[in-house]
Amino acid sequence: MQRYFVKEINEKKAYLSKEDSYHLQVVMRCKKGEKLEIVCEDKLYLGRVSSLGEFVCVEIEKEVKTDFLSYKVAIAQGLIKDKKMDFVLQKATELGVYEIIPLITKRSVVKLEGKEQKKIDRWQKIVQEASCQAKRIDVPIVHSILSMEELIHLDYDVKILCSVNEMSMNIKKVLEKLNRSDRILFVVGAEGGFDPAEEEMLIENGFIRVSLGNHVLRTETAPLYLLSVVSYNFMR
């Protein structure tokens, strides 16, 4: 059953966006009367298509109770090339990321040059589509692009820097001490990793330096590894 996100439900009716309406009718070849899943404000509903057109109307039939992840993980990802960033956004969404923070680092090779908002809008679209595919009832937040100096002022219960430094702690030991209610921030560098001065600035501002194992992971692999081990750590 297809799932779509809407901004509001009025009088038990939800209207899909123009883009989603096109996808539903042209790509999925949906007909009037077919069932859909609708998500609005982190709640899941079942409904039927009552009318087709530029904005498909769905008649809401009932609310469905769902399980919601109690832990919240944010990934601050050093800016990387488009295809790799798209991959991280899509797969991180499937694996339960709550927030994604694009991060400017000294070794980032991507230059946005005034295209920041266009990029963010595109990234938010990617995570929404991935949320529909993954059957989530929420959509990850894609934040504005931050500098390292702005990153250190963010408020999280636990802030973790992924590093290949020999002084790094074992990530397993760090995760074992966390609670499900903790808001966790992981920081992942771009292709070239972090400059030593950047790492020291993060450590001086309360970040825990951790190792992801004996192998050096690619920047687009690290967030997926992190989300997977956190999910396993909190698995009931």
**Which phi and psi (to 5°) does residue 117 adopt?**
-65, -35
What pLDDT digit, counting tens, does each position of 30-76 carry?
999 999 999 998 899 999 999 999 999 999 999 998 876 778 999 99
Average pLDDT over residues 76-103: 95
Q: Whole-prediction pTM value?
A: 0.85
At the top level of CATH, the class of 72-233 is alpha beta
List of residues 6+ apart from 127 with CB closer than 8 A? 89, 90, 93, 100, 139, 140, 142
Specify the amino acid at residue 163.
S
- Which pLDDT score is estimated for 156? 95
For residue 4, give the nearest of 140, 133, 167 by alpha carbon. 133
CATH 2.30.60.10 fits 3-64, yes or no: no
Q: Can you give the residue ranges of every domain in the chain? A: 3-64, 72-233
Q: Count H helices and E strands in the chain, helices first.
A: 7, 13
Q: Return left, alpha or beta for 180; rule: phi > 0 is left, psi -120 to 50 is alpha, else beta.
A: alpha
pLDDT confidence band for 233 (50 / 70 / 90): confident
